[in-house]
Amino acid sequence: MSVPQVFITRRLPASLEQLQAIAHVEIWPERQPPPYDVLLAKAQAVDGLLCLLTDKIDRQLITTSSLKVISQMAVGYDNIDIAAATAQKIPVGNTPGVLTNATADLTWALLMSAARRVVEADKFTRAGLWKTWEPDLLLGPDVAGATLGIIGFGRIGQAVARRAQGFEMKILYTSRQRCQPEVEESLKAEFVSLETLLQESDFITIHTPGAEDTYHLLSDRQFALMKPSAILINTARGTIIDQNALYRALSQKQIAAAAVDVTEIEPLSMDSPLLSLDNLIITPHIGSASRQTRAKMAAIAIANLIAGLTGDRLPHCVNPEVYS
Ligand code: GLV
């Protein structure tokens, strides 16, 4: 049997020794992702693809490929046409679980930074504006005791709620499925409608996947329901918020502030009007960016790839229907 061929779309923070023992591995050497035409050609020449969320793995690429496995180093996979992969019987792997804590931590870093205006305060200091202690300088709301609304209550949403216990917050959540009573009880979380959550929360944080049914889940109508003091956090996917509506809500002070780690189109264009807003913090999609987490994600992605190449079931497969 010939040696399987693998294409990896970026250098990874993990050992490839095990993979190289069974496959011929080519790694895209640039910091920027491979252009689509390169990806298309590689997919037609290899058995296994290890990709990132910046790589567009669409129907054309999948149906013209020789792929036996697609392994994504991320928990989300909205860049991959899963239906097309399933139709071709190609298993798709992802890396759930290991990035839950890192993403919940960044959510809290953004929440605290937006509440206490940390980024604005840093800019203020560097601009030489710190002249004295002032009773009303850079005020924000209390976090302790406030109401936290969590949209999407899977692993990451629940990890965010767990951290909120220390701040004695009231927790509201909404999700496709209501949790077991034990989970609600242990996290002191109350299941409510999206409308109620938007109306009653001081902080709103999104932890639902990017998908057709969550596209622009928050737009003008939803911003109109929020408190003028509300602070919105998004570490999930940019497509969940209508970015033009976000700009309107923030510039008209319909809500107080937002902090987002994801945007509708990534990277965010430097021409985006969002960049002119003082009440918005933007980070470059770094939710899982702890050294330990990225190493674990890479290791899982490699394990998924090896399983796919050797005909084993992927340890983390997003389309298990391929096995039925
Ligand atoms: C990051 O956004 C991921 O889906 O892992």
Dump pLDDT digits (tens) for 108-139: 999 999 999 999 999 999 999 999 999 999 99
Q: State residue 59 phi and psi, 5-degree precision.
A: -60, -45
Q: Is 266 a catalytic residue?
A: yes
Q: Hey, what are 21's tokens?
A: 């023992």
Active-site pick, 168, 185, 195, 266: 266
119 in helix, strand or coil?
A: helix
Average pLDDT value for residue range 28-43: 98
Nearest residue by C-alpha to atom 1 in ligand 1: 74
pLDDT at 292: 98
Token pair 């990277």 in the structure block, residue? 267
Whether 75 is in the pocket of ligand 1, judged by its Cβ within 6 Å, is yes
Distance CA 54, CA 32 (A): 9
Q: List the residue whose alpha carbon is closest to atom 5 of ligand 1.
A: 74
Distances (CA, A) of 47 to 177, 288, 295, 319: 37, 28, 24, 18
The pTM (predicted TM-score) of the whole model is 0.97
Structure confidence at residue 186 (pLDDT): 98
User: Residue 238: CB within 6 Å of ligand 1?
Assistant: no
285 is catalytic: yes
Evaluate: CB of 210 within 6 angstroms of ligand 1: no
CB 90 within 8 A of CB 322: yes
Compute φ and ψ for 25, nearest 5 degrees.
-115, 130
Instruction: Indicate the domain borders of the chain.
Output: 5-98+291-323, 100-282
Q: Which CATH superfamily is domain 5-98+291-323 in?
A: NAD(P)-binding Rossmann-like Domain (3.40.50.720)
258 contacts 114 by C-beta, under 8 angstroms: yes
Instruction: Write out pLDDT tens, residues 258-271.
Output: 999 999 999 999 99
Q: Taking residues 99-116, what's their average pLDDT? A: 98
Is residue 120 flagged as an active site residue?
no
In this structure, the chain runs to a length of: 324
For the cut 80, the answer to whether the pLDDT of residue 61 exceeds it is yes
Q: Quick one: 100-282 is in which CATH superfamily?
A: NAD(P)-binding Rossmann-like Domain (3.40.50.720)
| Tally of CB atoms within 10 A around 263 | 21
pLDDT at 310 over 80: yes
Q: Smallest Cα–Cα separation from 262: which of 72, 78, 117?
A: 78
Mean pLDDT score, 263-286? 98
Q: What is the mean pLDDT of residues 66-90?
A: 98
- Looking at residue 169, its pLDDT comes to 98
Rounded-to-integer distance, Cα 78 and Cα 283, Å:
20
**Distance from Cα 138 to the centre of ligand 1, integer Å:** 33
**What's the order of all strands across the beta sheet hosting 257-260?**
189-191, 170-174, 147-151, 203-206, 231-234, 257-260, 280-282
Pocket test for ligand 1, best of 10, 12, 52, 53 (most atoms within 8 A of CB): 53
Which among 10, 117, 207, 285 is annotated as catalytic? 285
Instruction: Give the per-residue pLDDT at 1.
Output: 64
**Which H/E stretch holds residue 148?**
strand 147-151
Most ligand 1 atoms within 8 A of CB, residue of 55, 57, 72, 75 to mutate: 75
End-to-end CA distance of the chain: 26
Does residue 74 have its Cβ closer than 6 Å to ligand 1? Answer: yes
The whole-angstrom separation of Cα 114 and Cα 265 is 22
